[in-house]
A and B are shown apart, each in its own frame.
Chain A
């Protein structure tokens, strides 16, 4: 399991204080995310060059907070986990990078991290933990999920997520038992919240883009209008099926736990009743009653399975379904276009 980059607690301690005194922690502090074009290009490049082998590439986002929107102005990639000393590498690398970037006037405030994903499968324990530690240290941090496969199909797929305040509460208390989750009243749909993204470019970059458009000889490939869909659908469905199987297992486990619990309750009741009966019998016979034994020691309650995984799996299944639906609606549109084209020519 790979963990995301760590937030630097030393530099962020002062910011946390100011954030806590400023906005109320229960409201969402970030309503919108503004990304520089440069960040988009860098993330794309990072995946393209380093991400073909392993599926996940990660990096750190730098920027600043402006009123209620988060501006991301730069980013730098994280090296893949190597065989040698991982811990030392990561924190050291991060500190070095941020110090150097400060020299050239790049914003060095850590505001989040990014990760690439494979067919939309990113809801996992590792992501949750990383994002929790980030949000705990920095109120407004987000995780940007970049989907390269969907992007290659025609349009940039970049989403920003944060943990909802409710989920933050639960993670803080680390109470993942069924009762705990029931108390917090959390469902898989309110685990992550998506923050809308807006891309912003400075004037000079716009000039550059104009120049590029004139001079570049790369032809448009129009992947978006590609009709073939079965490959992508197959893979997505395969992943979905795997997840649903996982979910099944989880539900089975929970069911057995519930059954065990109720059986135990019954046993306890029976035992108590028998005790009572015996005691009354003994009293009628004039003998001293048997001592009350400690019930809880005799009947140890079964271990409640942690419910966090269920939530995560449910969230992931939901995500897959969303993606599949988007994909199919696009393809339906394309098929109707193809029909129109045939109608014209024939």
Chain B
């Protein structure tokens, strides 16, 4: 059962909607400069424009926000996300309750002076309807405590929600999270694939409004980068291969096969480069100096070793490996013998 309910009177919703409306008009004006200034003139005049303009304002706001996401200069930290977080979010979306359109949860990670690294997350049950939103905060606190036992260095740095837009409810949830963490990040993952892509966006909130009068909240977008540990990247590479098979499954390959596949990849890349060079030679493509320099580097990277030296190096290495293999086989035979003689 949900312990804390946030009841939202409709009037407050209207206020935020108003300021959203104001903001988006203003934002359209400053789109070229990339700054956001608090609205100076349109302060208290919009009390009449309630309900009917609300839907228009939110949709307009969304469109402009997404437009701006592409071109705006970003103020605020860079958000670095690990793939495990995104996989978790998608998984919790798939397991959502009947009737819920979106899932929310807490983001955990570490902050830096200029960046925020998101390394973990967990979903939080919540109920959402037209005019109210209820989040189980007790649960969130509990889970955070449990997670802290495992990785004490992770802190709450924000929250996520699946879905395309930022709704009014998000503002409230964001407020709750700003009590938990200084300047929380809001991450949206579009699992409904509204634009044929899974848009992953991050926002940070900032105050806006006329000081002294009602203040609203604005979400400014941030750049999102994906970071991987080395081992994570290898794991993700393996997962990528499941896309190819029709049953979406993939086994783990054995030793020599892996080397073969890695060699295959390099070979592919070499053929691409070769075809590019062919094109240049036959005049189809303009030669590019920087690419030429890279190619020179590439060819020079193969070290020039005299044949005998290389032979001797190769042979000694091969001898080492063969010796180790022989020893390993010998040991295995030995313990098998020992077994037969002693135990059985």
- Contacts from A to B (Cβ < 8 Å): 34, 36-38, 40-42, 44-50, 74, 77-80, 89, 93, 96-97, 100, 103-106, 148, 151-152, 154-158, 178, 181-182, 185-189, 196-213, 215-218, 220-225, 229-230, 233, 237, 240, 244, 247, 251, 254, 307, 310-311, 314, 317-318, 320-322, 324-335, 337-339, 341-342, 345-346
Cross-chain contact A196 with B84 (CB below 8 angstroms): no
Which of B149, B250, B299 has the most A CB atoms < 10 Å from its CB?
B149
Cross-chain contact A104 with B123 (CB below 8 angstroms): yes
Cross-chain contact B249 with A333 (CB below 8 angstroms): no
Cross-chain contact A40 with B239 (CB below 8 angstroms): yes
Which of B87, B97, B240, B258 has the most A CB atoms < 10 Å from its CB?
B87
Which of A155, A211, A327, A335 has the most B CB atoms < 10 Å from its CB?
A155
Q: What is the CB-to-nearest-CB distance from A237 to chain B, in angstroms, rounded to a whole number? A: 7
Given A148-B231, A225-B262, A328-B321, A240–B84 Cβ distance below 8 Å?
A: no
The 10 closest A-B pairs by CB, nearest first: A41-B84, A321-B328, A105-B95, A224-B262, A79-B149, A37-B239, A326-B255, A328-B321, A38-B87, A216-B226
Given A204-B94, A345-B302, A338–B314 Cβ distance below 8 Å?
A: yes
Q: Is the interface of A mostly helix, strand, loop or mixed?
A: helix
Find the B residue at minimum CB distance from A186.
B343
Q: What is the CB-to-nearest-CB distance from B139 to chain A, in angstroms, rounded to a whole number? A: 6
Docked complex Cα distance between A316 and B256 (Å): 23
Cross-chain contact A41 with B87 (CB below 8 angstroms): yes
Cross-chain contact B150 with A79 (CB below 8 angstroms): yes
Cross-chain contact B339 with A212 (CB below 8 angstroms): no
Q: Which of B60-68, B192-200, B281-289 contacts A (4 or more CB under 8 A)?
A: B192-200
Q: Is the interface of B mostly helix, strand, loop or mixed?
A: helix
Cross-chain contact B239 with A199 (CB below 8 angstroms): yes
Of residues 297 through 344 on chain B, the ones whose CB sits less than 8 Å from some CB of chain A are 299, 302, 304-305, 307, 310, 314, 317-318, 320-322, 324-325, 328-329, 331-332, 335-336, 338-339, 342-344
Which residues from chain B contact A89 at a C-beta distance below 8 Å?
149
Q: What is the CB-to-nearest-CB distance from B96 to chain A, in angstroms, rounded to a whole number? A: 7
Cross-chain contact A45 with B242 (CB below 8 angstroms): no
Of residues 100 through 157 on chain B, the ones whose CB sits less than 8 Å from some CB of chain A are 119-120, 122-125, 136, 139, 142-143, 146, 149-151, 153
Given A49-B119, A100-B143, A151-B234, A199–B242 Cβ distance below 8 Å?
A: yes
Cross-chain contact A224 with B235 (CB below 8 angstroms): no
Cross-chain contact A77 with B150 (CB below 8 angstroms): yes
B253 in the interface, Cβ–Cβ < 8 Å? yes
Cross-chain contact A48 with B191 (CB below 8 angstroms): no
B236 in the interface, Cβ–Cβ < 8 Å? yes
Cross-chain contact A156 with B252 (CB below 8 angstroms): yes
Find the A residue at minimum CB distance from B331.
A321
B86 in the interface, Cβ–Cβ < 8 Å? yes
Which residues from chain A contact B253 at a C-beta distance below 8 Å?
155
| B side interface size, CB within 8 A | 92
Cross-chain contact B256 with A329 (CB below 8 angstroms): yes
Which residues from chain B contact A178 at a C-beta distance below 8 Å?
343
Docked complex Cα distance between A205 and B240 (Å): 10
Find the B residue at minimum CB distance from A236.
B324
Q: What is the CB-to-nearest-CB distance from A16 to chain B, in angstroms, rounded to a whole number? A: 27
Docked complex Cα distance between A42 and B201 (Å): 22
- With beta carbons under 8 angstroms apart, the residue of B125, B256, B304 that contacts A104 is B125
Cross-chain contact B329 with A330 (CB below 8 angstroms): no
Of residues 175 through 201 on chain B, the ones whose CB sits less than 8 Å from some CB of chain A are 191, 193, 197-198, 200
The count of A-to-B residue pairs whose CB atoms sit within 8 angstroms is 266
Docked complex Cα distance between A186 and B342 (Å): 12
Which residues from chain A contact B328 at a C-beta distance below 8 Å?
240, 320-322, 324-325, 328
Docked complex Cα distance between A154 and B253 (Å): 12
Given A151-B231, A205-B87, A212-B86, A233–B236 Cβ distance below 8 Å?
A: no
Q: What is the CB-to-nearest-CB distance from A92 to chain B, in angstroms, rounded to a whole number? A: 10
Cross-chain contact B302 with A103 (CB below 8 angstroms): no
Cross-chain contact B324 with A41 (CB below 8 angstroms): no
Cross-chain contact B151 with A50 (CB below 8 angstroms): yes
Find the B residue at minimum CB distance from A148.
B231
Q: What is the CB-to-nearest-CB distance from A209 to chain B, in angstroms, rounded to a whole number? A: 5
Which residues from chain A contact B243 at a C-beta distance below 8 Å?
201, 206, 209-210
Cross-chain contact B231 with A152 (CB below 8 angstroms): yes
Given A42-B84, A93-B149, A213–B240 Cβ distance below 8 Å?
A: yes
Q: What is the CB-to-nearest-CB distance from B200 to chain A, in angstroms, rounded to a whole number? A: 7
Docked complex Cα distance between A90 and B29 (Å): 58
Cross-chain contact B325 with A324 (CB below 8 angstroms): yes
Of residues 222 through 273 on chain B, the ones whose CB sits less than 8 Å from some CB of chain A are 225-236, 238-240, 242-243, 248-256, 258-260, 262-263, 265-266
Find the A residue at minimum CB distance from B232.
A44
Cross-chain contact A41 with B236 (CB below 8 angstroms): yes
Which residues from chain A contact B205 at a C-beta distance below 8 Å?
none
Q: What is the CB-to-nearest-CB distance from A55 to chain B, in angstroms, rounded to a whole number? A: 15
Which residues from chain B contact A45 at a C-beta distance below 8 Å?
82, 84, 119-120, 229, 232
Which residues from chain B contact A155 at a C-beta distance below 8 Å?
234, 238, 252-253, 258
Which residues from chain A contact B255 at a C-beta distance below 8 Å?
326-327, 329-330
Cross-chain contact A154 with B235 (CB below 8 angstroms): no
Given A41-B83, A215-B226, A325–B321 Cβ distance below 8 Å?
A: no
Cross-chain contact A154 with B94 (CB below 8 angstroms): no
Given A78-B150, A156-B252, A197-B252, A187–B339 Cβ distance below 8 Å?
A: yes
Which residues from chain A contact B93 at a C-beta distance below 8 Å?
204
B88 in the interface, Cβ–Cβ < 8 Å? yes
Cross-chain contact A41 with B232 (CB below 8 angstroms): yes
Docked complex Cα distance between A331 and B320 (Å): 11
Q: What is the CB-to-nearest-CB distance from B243 to chain A, in angstroms, rounded to a whole number? A: 5
Which residues from chain A contact B310 at a C-beta distance below 8 Å?
339, 342
Which residues from chain A contact B149 at a C-beta distance below 8 Å?
79, 89, 93
Cross-chain contact B84 with A204 (CB below 8 angstroms): no
Which residues from chain A contact B254 at a C-beta distance below 8 Å?
326
A and B contact pairs by CB, cutoff 8 A, 5 listed: A44-B235, A45-B229, A156-B234, A199-B251, A317-B332
Instruction: List 11 additional contacts besides A198-B250, A205-B239; criterion CB under 8 Å.
Output: A40-B238, A44-B231, A45-B119, A105-B95, A154-B234, A186-B343, A196-B251, A205-B91, A244-B331, A335-B318, A342-B302
Cross-chain contact B324 with A49 (CB below 8 angstroms): no
B92 in the interface, Cβ–Cβ < 8 Å? yes
